[in-house]
Structure formats: structure tokens, C-alpha cells
Amino acid sequence: MSTTSPHRERPKRTARPAAKALANPGAGRSAGPATAGSARHSQRWLAWIFLAPTILGMGLFTLIPIVASVVLAFFRWDIISAPTFVGFDNFSEVVQDPTVRVSFLNTILFVVVAVAFQLGLALALAIMVQEKMPAWLRVFFRSAFFFPLILSAASVSIFMRYLFNEQFGVVNWFLSLAGIPAVPWLTTPGGSAAVVILVYVWQNFGFSFLLFIGGLASIPVETYEAASIDGATGWRKHLYVTLPLLSPTTLVASVMAIISALQVFDQPYVLTRGGPGDSTRTAVMVIFESAFQRLEFGQASAIGVLLTLIIMAITAAQFRLSKRFVFYQ
């Protein structure tokens, strides 16, 4: 298509005075086409200058590492010797590795349980705080529930280790008061998985809680009043009014919670180191172990690529499903 086509020309004619006005307010219509072109030109440069730091940062720290790690997945590299091209060998080794398979299964299981728990808890508490609490208590609980999120996950996991210690932990001490024998929280597969989920949810549900608080505040009171007139009370009001109108918030909260849970690392690494056995080993832990402990950077990249594809597929599926289940006011 020629650049002189009327379709391309039309916006130029309207844009020039606007651009000129922005670049040189008060200049009016007296300036000729050359001045207007120059103003548009300098405005574009200005835009690029303002965008440059972000573009540069994203290029250097996001785009290049992504491309590099995809490329690296096709090489064997121990960071000491020169990399060797191995084609799809890393991918086939990774797929056959039982530890990798178990860690991906663990991660999926973790996501299902932790996200359900996290969203359910956040929603229940948000409804309770928003509806049942006086304003001053609402402020307190909003801060209190968000507080764990600003703590370092490693520090939280370290003190949780003490709390859940089988012999000397406070949790078992409280249980002993009720006559319950000491639970081997961190040394049995079931116990350690439960603790990892519990610690993760405790630290992360505050974010979903805040999203739900925002979502609940945006639901018009009139809708509830109309529902009451129609005879809806108690949980039926929430089922037929709150949940449908909260669905856009639920979509955002679930997408963010799932992406974050798929990348879980700190809590299982500090609490259990992935054990006992492989019971709490996650996909990101295997990436870390492959790269920085076994020096198999190619394999680590291959696992990273697979995890990225899974995250993309799940997120795409969520948005596709959202067309059926999300209602906008």
C-alpha cells in the first residue's frame, strides 16, 4: 500500500495541529506544515526517550534472559566448559527423569489445593470483614491479613520450622495439651506437604483477600436490596448475587494465585528441602537444583521452558473458560 493513500493521509491531517498544540501551545494555526512536522518528530523522540528506560530494562532483564534460556535448553553447559549443542536431548532427559515428573505432579497438586484453599479463605474472610465488622475493625483486619505478604518467605519458613518441630515445636505442645500425640509434621510426606501448603496459604492469602474486598465494595447495595425484596436471604444472597458479580475479581485473583503457586520455591526449600523423599519437591526447586547444584544449566532451562509452557496453557485456559463463568456488570 502506498503511503500516499487517503486512508493513511487522513489521520496525519488531524494529528498535526494537535501535535503542534501540544509541542508549542499558543502557536495557533499560523505555523506551516514544516513546523508541524518538526513538532511531531520531536514529540516522537520525546516519547522514545521516556520509554527507553523501560524498554531497555525489559529487554535486558526479561526479553534477553527468556530468549537465552530457550536457546540454552538446546545446549549442555556447566558454566565452566564451553556449551555443546545437544538438540532436544535435554528435553528428552527431563521428561524421562522420575524426579522431574514427580516434582511437576507435586506442583500441580500443590496448585490445586493451595489455590483453592487460598481463594476460599480469602473470599470467606473478605465477606466476613466487609459485612460483619465495624469500620475500624475492617481497617485492622485488612492490614493484619496483608501483613504476612510483606515478610520474607525464607524468614517465615525458618520460624515455621521451629513451630512445627516434632519434638520441641509450639504446635505440638498445644496439641499435647489436648492429649494429641506429637505429629511428625516435617518428617512424613503427608505432614510436610500439609505444612508447606499451610505456610504458603497463610503468607499469600492476604493479596487475594484485598482483591475480594475491592470487588465486594464495588457491588451496588441496590442489587442486594433487590435480591432481598425477591426473598433471597443469607447464603443464597451470596450464591446468586455476590459470587456472580465478583466473578471478574475471582478471575484475576485465581490467575495471579495460580501463576504464583506454580512457581513456589521458598517455602518447600527452607521447610523441607523437598523431602521426605520427593514429597514436597516442586518444579522450580528442580530447576534450581539442576542449575546451581548439578551444573546442568541446559536441563534447568529445558525444565524452565516446560514450566513456562504449562503456565501459559493454564492461563490461556482460564481466560477461555472465563467467557462462560465471568459476568461483568
Partner 1 sequence: MTGATNGHLREITRRTALGALGAGIIGATVASWPRLSGTDIPGRGDNSLSIAIMGTAADAAARQRAIDAFTRLHPEIKVKVQAIQAVDWKDFFTKILTMVAAGTPPDVVYVATEGAQLFAEKLAHPLDEYVRRDAADMREFFDDVHPSLVEAFMYKGSLYQLPMDWNAANMYYNTTAFAQAGLERPADDWTHVDFRNRLAAMRKARTSDFTPYYWTNRLFGGVVPWLYANDTSFLKETRSTGGEWLWDGFYANDPSRSLRSGGYQWLEPNANDDRVFESFDYLRGLVKDGLGVRPEEGGGSSLVGLFASNRIGTTPAGGYWVQGLHEAGMGANDFDVQFFPRWKTQRHQFGTAGYAIMKTAKDKDAAWEWIKFSSSREAMELIFPNPITTPARRSMVNEQLYAGKGPAHWKVFYDTLDRFPTTGPIPAPPQQAAVETALMKNVSLAVSGDERQLKQALSSMQRDLELALRRQS
Q: Does 79 bind partner 1 (CB under 8 A)?
A: yes
Any residues with CB less than 8 A from the CB of 95 and at least 6 apart, and which?
101
Dihedral class, residue 47 (left if φ above 0, else alpha if ψ from -120 to 50, else beta): alpha
**Alpha-carbon gap, residue 209 to 323, rounded angstroms:** 23
**Alpha-carbon gap, residue 159 to 132, rounded angstroms:** 32
Q: 100 or 115, CB closer to partner 1?
A: 100
Q: At its nearest, how many Å lie between partner 1 and the CB of residue 58?
A: 16
Question: Site map for partner 1, 37-76, x if CB under 8 A?
Answer: ---------------------------------------x
Is-contact 166 183, C-beta < 8 A? yes
42 SS3 class: helix
Q: At its nearest, how many Å lie between partner 1 and the CB of residue 204?
A: 23
Q: Which of 203, 296, 301, 306 binds partner 1 (CB under 8 A)?
A: 296
Q: 186 or 287, CB closer to partner 1?
A: 186
Q: Does 83 bind partner 1 (CB under 8 A)?
A: no
Q: Does 206 bind partner 1 (CB under 8 A)?
A: no
Dihedral class, residue 206 (left if φ above 0, else alpha if ψ from -120 to 50, else beta): alpha
Q: In terms of C-beta density within 10 A (0-12 exposed, 13-18 middle, 19 or more buried), how is residue 260 classed?
A: middle
Is-contact 93 77, C-beta < 8 A? no
Q: Does 233 bind partner 1 (CB under 8 A)?
A: no
Q: Does 275 bind partner 1 (CB under 8 A)?
A: yes
Q: Does 138 bind partner 1 (CB under 8 A)?
A: no
Q: Does 273 bind partner 1 (CB under 8 A)?
A: yes
The footprint of partner 1 (CB under 8 A) covers 1-3, 76, 78-81, 97, 99, 158, 161-162, 165-168, 184, 186-189, 270, 272-278, 281, 289, 292-296
